[in-house]
A = this chain, B = another copy of it.
Amino acid sequence: MRSDARAAIVDTARSANAVLRPVGVRDVVLEDVFWAPRLRINRETTLAAQHQMLEQTGRLENFRRLTGASNAPFAGIYFNDSDVYKWLEGAAWSLATDPDPALTALVDQTVALIAAAQRPDGYLNTYFALDRASERWTNPDLHELYCAGHLFQAAVAHHRVTGSTALLNVATRFADHICDRFGLVEDGKIPWTDGHPEVELGLAELSRETDDERYLEQARFFVEVRGTGVLGRPYGRWGLEYHQDHLPVREQSEIVGHAVRAVYLYAGVADLCLERDKPELRSALDRLWASMTERKLYVTGGIGARHDGESFGDDHELPSATAYAETCASIGAVMWAWRMLALTGEARYADLIERELYNGILSGLALDGTTYFYVNPLADEGEHRRQPWFGTACCPPNLARLLPSLPGYVVSTSDDGLWLHLYATGTVEATLPDGQSARLRVETSYPWDGDISIEVWATGEWTLTLRVPEWVGDGASLEVAGETWPDGLMPGSYVAIRRRWAAGTVVRLRLPMPVRRVSCHPRVTENAGRVALMRGPLVYCLEVVDNPGVDVRDIVLPAEAEIEAKHRPELLGGVTTLSFDGRAAPVDGAWDRTLYREDVEGAPASIEPVRVVAVPYYAWANRQPGPMRVWLATR
């Protein structure tokens, strides 16, 4: 059994093909203006509220049915166990940085309940139990392996954080059960993988945690059997592409189908590539990444253009109002990107992680941490509001596990030294290549300001590698121990500072955050002639509440407008707003009750000057409802 008391989120410490090694959740203390308060709300409000929901909705009672403590009928849907596991994973990460006896007690109870519910043969799923026990492993679309994968992730987190094997033992017994049953037909095994990927990355991480190669081998099987047509799957309404089962992964190039399924799968494939040399899979990941980020990604990081099948659309199919952009899909994209970053050390993966965290993911959560978006559109008429829970409740606990694990995404180590990916005031402890400890003290008002000061408390010769985000403006600069860095800083790269460090050396990174007018590829028809406003990593939007007396749908951003950034600590928990002198071009009254008419040349009936205020996209729909827009007309 491995012992990683520092609690890495993905333990690539000994992965054969990892460029980057983990620095655990416990090694990073966030004390910043942006994330630290959000982690506190998650700890103090969200996790407790979600546990109540797990109880109220029968998700925990479902486990009690199996222990004999309840006679209730099964409640909810067949993948409900996964929400319990995700909550448990989130609680574990939270305990890593913030011990809490009450939460520990809840976790212990829940772990004991899960362990008691496990069947004697290792199987564990509360839906396929009792009267439905005979239906186990008969339908690959019913998420049994998906739930198992979430159990494995929760068990690994729980073991890393607490040192207890109570849940890990449940996981390995279930994993053994799965390894015994799934494989080649000629070996008398079930030849399929799950309709919803997740078990692949769960098994890979379980293998890392237990040093049991068998689990990795099983993950390999699940990855490589996909798309080989070994079974006529009872897929019903949805087809093979929806399940990424239309081609072997190594032959896939276009990212298609259910967005969450896709990114969970490719995260698992990346795990496999971290551990083994799989050049064909590795190439496929590059093609699929390009497909996603070059043709199918919302400016917010949202993925999944279609409500129909919660799926990716065609190239450049990125409608704003009907965007699906599921919160879970953006979280899955981070999981995939993090593994790609570990594989390559390439900044574009960290850029995507940042885009997701500050926009497409964070919009999924209300400022008070109690309500959620499943779907994250980029335009709305005021009807889309966050909800306290969902029948399919994947997104809330996914947020509740991602947020407390965030410290684990801040920094990595490599053979050369330390890599800093995300910027936030706080402290990092890490072990250098020579075995010595290093401590970084970071000070910044990021994401509101791009000035970052890093005190380096370590000695010896090693490399501090800092991310220069893709969005950085002209004039980015770096100063090390008072000396200006001689080379230019290229946006979307890492800058490597190799030197013999003196304890207390100060590194100053200045990342200018001009307001950017971002255009979209011309094939995204509805964004033609429009821009999105960004500043630093943040995408902005217009909401009606900041722009009284004008319909935000009518607002035009003139080319000549100067856009003013102003920090407003009292607004939306503290945000920097953007404002400009715009125009309102209301819809001509000739369009009343008219959908089509012969083209009429000329300007709208009236154009009025108007002062326009934009707020960060993540903060929308926290006040009164009304139209919201990300993409603004420019004429």
Chain A contacts to B: CB under 8 angstroms: 290, 293-295, 297, 299, 306-308, 313-314, 317, 319-322, 379, 381, 516-523, 525-526, 528-529, 531-532, 553, 559, 587-588, 591, 593-601, 631, 633-634
Contact = CB atoms under 8 A, between A and B. Distances in A.
B294 A594 contact: yes
Given A290-B593, A518-B597, A559-B601, 4 more contacts: A306-B307, A313-B322, A317-B322, A532-B596
Given A523-B587, A559-B601, A518 B596 contact: yes
Copies in the complex: 2
A595 B319 contact: no
A597 B295 CA distance: 13
A631 B525 CA distance: 10
B528 A595 contact: no
A299 B596 CA distance: 7
Contacts of A321: 314, 317, 525
A541 to B, nearest CB: 15
B306 A322 contact: yes
Nearest to A299: B596
A596 B519 contact: yes
Given A306-B308, A314-B381, A633-B528, A522 B591 contact: yes
12 contacts: A290-B593, A293-B595, A295-B595, A306-B322, A314-B321, A516-B599, A518-B599, A519-B597, A522-B588, A525-B631, A532-B596, A599-B634
A265 B253 CA distance: 44
Nearest to A586: B522
A518 B308 contact: no
A265 to B, nearest CB: 22
Contacts of A313: 322
Nearest to A585: B522
Contacts of A587: 521-523
A379 B319 CA distance: 14
Given A525-B320, A587-B522, A633-B528, A517 B314 contact: no
A297 B529 contact: no
A218 to B, nearest CB: 33
B599 A519 contact: yes
Most chain-B CB neighbours within 10 Å: which of A313, A526, A595, A601?
A: A595
A384 to B, nearest CB: 11
A529 B599 CA distance: 10
Most chain-B CB neighbours within 10 Å: which of A290, A522, A588?
A: A522
